Amino acid sequence: MTAPLLIGTSLKMYFGYQQTLDWCRQVTDIARRHPAVTQGHAALFIMPSFPTLAPVLEMVRGTDIRIGAQNLSDQPPGAWTGEVSAAMLAEMGCRCVEIGHAERRRHFHEDETLVAAKTALAMTHGLSPVLCVGEGEEGDPEAAASECIRQMESALAETPHPREADLIVAYEPHWAIGASQPASSEHISAVCMKLQAYLDGHGGGCVIYGGSAGPGLLSRLEGSVQGMFLGRFVHDARAFEQILDEVMTLHAASR
Ligand SMILES: O=C[C@H](O)COP(=O)(O)O
């Protein structure tokens, strides 16, 4: 059987507490009954805000939905006011953590040294990094892929081999995040296939696409990505279900 497509989302800081729980419940209910999930063609992850991690972890108990944080400290537990450790996330039951998102690089000045430290720490605690890479300006896919591979190499520089958790690379061109539409399918496919080829030769991992992604995009990418990293366009949980419907259609077409 082929590997499941990875369908994940970060809720960023959009929702309130109750709204997050309501949305996660809707998606969990969809996951419990949708054949794309129950038959193993799609694997899901959700990254809600820190205060909701505990109730959401409880909510998804009995499913295989991975829950992750949108950030972690690059430091071991100690005197780091306001930070959250990899150790605590792992202890709670988180299985993945987002690292290097364009918004954290831009607004919180997270540099490549910090991204590499966080990636290594996540791995050593068995947390799969959802490592976000992407070029700043719209341009040709060759240059974009080179820049993303450079970012991946930098991010993985401190990570011991073999890796202690699966690596998920989210290709997110910065210029396509928060936009009205994603990058073109041709651009996404060309870059993601290069990044996947790189990972296949360098310890493994899977490449998913994010940046104004929504229903319909996965079908247009014709198997060139391993999944999707979703944002605003699944805030209505029915859109999440539509994407799982697409996974089923793609699976049927591949048989
Ligand atoms: O974390 C998700 C990505 O940054 C994409 O967000 P967006 O689809 O709202 O642009």
Burial environment of residue 161 by CB neighbours within 10 A (0 to 12, 13 to 18, 19 or more): exposed
Distance CA 72, CA 88 (A): 10
CA 131 to chain centre: 7
Distance CA 32, CA 5 (A): 16
178-196 pLDDT, tens digit each? 999 999 999 999 999 999 9
- For residue 138, pLDDT beyond 80: yes
Neighbours of 138 (CB within 10 A): 13
With a Cβ cut-off of 6 Å, ligand 1 is lined by 10, 172, 177-178, 210-213, 229, 231-233
Dihedral sign, Cα of residue 147, residue 220, residue 42, residue 29: positive
111-125 pLDDT, tens digit each? 999 999 999 999 999
Q: What is the pLDDT of residue 162?
A: 85
Q: How far is CA 55 from CA 89, 94, 203, in A?
A: 13, 12, 34
Contact 65, 46 (CB under 8 A): yes
Percent with pLDDT over 90 in the chain: 95
* 178 token code pair: 């928060």
101-110 pLDDT, tens digit each? 999 999 999 9
Contact 46, 29 (CB under 8 A): no
- For residue 9, pLDDT beyond 90: yes
Which domains, and CATH codes, for the chain?
A: 5-254 (3.20.20.70)
Q: For this structure, is 172 an active site residue?
A: yes
pTM for the model stands at: 0.97
Q: How far is the CA of 214 from the centre of ligand 1 (A)?
A: 10
Give the mutation target among 133, 177, 208, 209 for probing the ligand 1 site: most ligand atoms within 8 A of CB. Answer: 177
40-84 pLDDT, tens digit each? 999 999 999 999 999 999 999 999 999 999 999 999 999 999 999
Give the mutation target among 96, 172, 234 for probing the ligand 1 site: most ligand atoms within 8 A of CB. Answer: 172
pLDDT averaged over every residue in the chain: 97
**Of the candidates 68, 158, 178, 81, the residue with the CA atom closest to the CA atom of residue 112:** 158
- For residue 1, pLDDT beyond 70: no
- For residue 230, pLDDT beyond 90: yes
For the question of an ipTM over 0.95, the answer is yes
When pLDDT is cut at 50, 70 and 90, the band that residue 161 belongs to is confident
Q: How far is the CA of 255 from the centre of ligand 1 (A)?
A: 31
Distance CA 171, CA 166 (A): 16
Q: Which residues contact 51 (CB under 8 A, 6 or more apart)?
A: 17
What 3 state SS string does the chain have?
CCCCEEEEEECCCCCCHHHHHHHHHHHHHHHHHCHHHHCCCEEEEEECCHHHHHHHHHHCCCCCCEEEECCCCCCCCCCCCCCCCHHHHHHHCCCEEEECCHHHHHHCCCCHHHHHHHHHHHHHCCCEEEEEECCCCCCCHHHHHHHHHHHHHHHCCCCCCCCCCCCEEEECCHHHCCCCCCCCHHHHHHHHHHHHHHHHCCCCCEEEEECCCCCCHHHHCCCCCCEEEECHHHCCHHHHHHHHHHHHHHHHHHC
Q: What is the pLDDT of residue 164?
A: 87
Neighbouring-strand partners of residue 171? 133, 209
Q: For this structure, is 251 an active site residue?
A: no
